[in-house]
A and B are shown apart, each in its own frame.
Chain A
């Protein structure tokens, strides 16, 4: 009924779709960031301290992931995981301002996306984390060992607390760019904000306004994330340094 409308504000008639799209984008982003961080930290530690056997494995993983397009990674994981995962959905229904809203948390496609985004991000986060680990002087780990601490304890209590503070400025690149990368999921039909915008555009032909609106949302989101991390960085500063 809104086909061919010329009033750009009519995109807001579809606010519920934009909302569920936004929730999906943030949901994927959150998972990708957390998985990327945990896997990335493990990779960074393995690459740095893994020795002759594990270190090259971590290095290879990082280089392969960073060296291939995410689209290829998405298709690969999609074709490996989609069928074994089966058909099921975990979702929630509620009514908001007279609209029935369905938020889907998990299904096979969403898991494919979370795994892809998380594993992809882990390779980048690993490199930021490794840079931060390298910036902690090696002498401190030696000093910890000279006190009788094991190398693992030294890494845990001396290297990581410093590396995790130092990584924040470079890590915030990944944290603030990652929301943009999630739009790739629309390719396999996950209803993120970009996919919803595309559908609204298809219905109304208001492609331009709806994409501009989504762009504005991303700009605001990314600046908020940067600001937040900046504050955290300042709060965790080591006095005197």
Chain B
């Protein structure tokens, strides 16, 4: 049987522990092409661990991760190659400090995709344009603001032309006045059809583009649903409590992004 809508990412019953500490206790979800999934939940609930398990930077003990049908837990797959199809954007940017913005973005194209120097630069510049940083191409990370650094981080992931991009709290290390520019870029790339898993507590962003939101606590999915479900009638008390706290914990940033009316 041919599956016309095979999920880009399918996570099945993922378990991860560090010694005695059980961090993920059976997480499952899947994303179709162009879907945006928002994952949220309290600190220490396992969100970052989940993302690191998905691209096998920190392999889970049990479970399956399929990228367009290929099982990443299979011993015979080339993980480096598959990782190049899974972009990752980090809370603390993790830019390469010794490389200019343009070289941060082009490095993967050259070293992993084997592109020529010129072609890689050209592609990198296109990616920097998408995050509105073409004019900062020749700056080093330490010469950029946090918001600009994070946008370089996003360009670095975008340039690889991945099937999916994982975002781990991309705005939570930023000063409030810098969050908007990053969310705006994320909104733009979401709207142009990038498949994304986003760990974030920016509810305005979630409301605007999430096809589904997943609330995780203690390594378990407690509740999931479309954004409206969470904002209007969340079921569990824990979620209600968390959502009430969210502005206090992470700041209220509702008006940071301009959400265009759907045509």
Which residues of A does B touch, CB under 8 Å? 136-137, 139-140, 142-150, 153, 157-158, 161-162, 165, 238-241
Q: Is B29 an interface residue (CB 8 A)?
A: no
Contact A142 B84 (CB under 8 A): no
Having A140-B94, A142-B57, A240-B142, one finds 19 other A-B pairs with CB under 8 Å, namely: A137-B92, A137-B94, A139-B90, A139-B92, A140-B96, A142-B94, A143-B94, A144-B96, A145-B57, A145-B83, A146-B57, A146-B86, A148-B84, A148-B85, A158-B96, A161-B98, A238-B97, A240-B141, A240-B143
Contact B97 A140 (CB under 8 A): yes
18 CB-based A-B contacts, threshold 8 Å = A140-B96, A143-B90, A143-B96, A146-B55, A146-B57, A146-B86, A146-B87, A147-B112, A148-B84, A148-B160, A157-B107, A157-B111, A158-B96, A161-B98, A162-B97, A239-B142, A241-B97, A241-B140
Cα distance A127–B80 when bound, in Å? 30
Cα distance A148–B88 when bound, in Å? 11
How far apart are A150's CB and chain B's nearest CB, in angstroms?
Answer: 5
Q: Which of A148, A162, A240, A241 has the most CB of B within 10 A?
A: A148
Contact A149 B142 (CB under 8 A): no
Contact size range, B = 20 to 34
CB contacts (< 8 Å) of A240 on chain B: these are 139-144
How far apart are A152's CB and chain B's nearest CB, in angstroms?
Answer: 10
How far apart are A100's CB and chain B's nearest CB, in angstroms?
Answer: 52
CB contacts (< 8 Å) of A153 on chain B: these are 111
Q: Is B42 an interface residue (CB 8 A)?
A: no
Known A140-B96, A240-B140, A241-B140; contact A146-B111, beta-carbon cutoff 8 A: no
Q: Which of B55, B81, B90, B97 has the most CB of A within 10 A?
A: B97
Cα distance A139–B86 when bound, in Å? 17
How far apart are B69's CB and chain A's nearest CB, in angstroms?
Answer: 19
